[in-house]
Amino acid sequence: LPVTASVLNTAAVFLMTEAIMLLLGYRFNIFTHLYTKLGPLICYNIVFAWPIHCAVRWLHKKTADKK
């Protein structure tokens, strides 16, 4: 779930940024930006968010109070 939330957040921020750029008058091909900018951002988040999530979960299990 955290990795999915990270990917969705990345896509949402990217789309908001692109919308602002369009409103400011920048002209670009949205599909090219999706492929060249959003694709690597999502891959980056998947590659780094998953191991960090696993490490935090492991640390939480190790440090949690046992009842």
What integer pLDDT is reported at residue 66 of this predicted model? 67
Q: Closest by alpha carbon to 14, among 50, 36, 47?
A: 36
Output the DSSP codes for 17-35: HHHHHHHTT----HHHHII
| 4 confidence band (pLDDT: 50, 70, 90) | confident
Residue 9 is part of which domain span? 2-65
**CA-to-CA dists, residue 28 to 2, 34, 39, angstroms:** 32, 11, 17
Q: For 8-60, what is each residue's pLDDT tens digit?
A: 999 999 999 999 999 999 988 888 888 899 999 999 988 888 888 889 989 99
**pTM to 2 decimal places:** 0.69
- The number of domains in the chain is 1
Residue 63 is encoded by which pair of tokens? Answer: 């440090």
What integer pLDDT is reported at residue 33 of this predicted model? 86
